[in-house]
Amino acid sequence: MTARVVAQGTFDLLHPGHVHYLREAKAMGDELHVIVARRENVTHKAQPILPNRQRRDMVAALAPVDEARVGHPDDIFAPIEDIEPSVIALGYDQHHDADAIEAQLTERGLDCAVRRASAREHRYDDELLSTGAIIERILNRRG
């Protein structure tokens, strides 16, 4: 049986932190399925700059990713029910509450572990590992 892993995120302006997260997620199983958050569903931070389809296409082009899709408009767990993963991999700094996710999975009858990826350390002084930091630098230098 194939062990599927689900990773999810906004993935606005891809950076080395995203690649690290997706590599670690892929290592948790055999197939990596990525759910890219719909712009309209992002409420915990500024909405993405790039359109849903463009962010999905960029994530799908990364080597660790077997399949990428845009999230469901109303039910964030609907794609997880379709994929039937063995693991949901959370990014080290994602705002999600692992216990709340596990409770929702149990309520829906999904047998799935929730694991968190590690942080990616900076490899050089001016390396940017967040979309916010990239935007801030662009605004400082060109704004």
Of 9, 11, 25, give the one whose Cα is nearest residue 95: 9
95 assigned ligand-binding residue: no
Q: Is residue 17 annotated as involved in ligand binding?
A: yes
Element (H, E) at 141: helix 131-142
Would the annotation count 15 as a binding residue? yes
CB 22 within 8 A of CB 120: no
77 is in an annotated binding site: no
71 in a known ligand binding site: no
16 is in an annotated binding site: yes
Say if residue 18 carries a ligand binding annotation. yes
Angle CA 86–41–28, to nearest 5: 20
- Binding region for ATP: 10-11, 15-18, 93
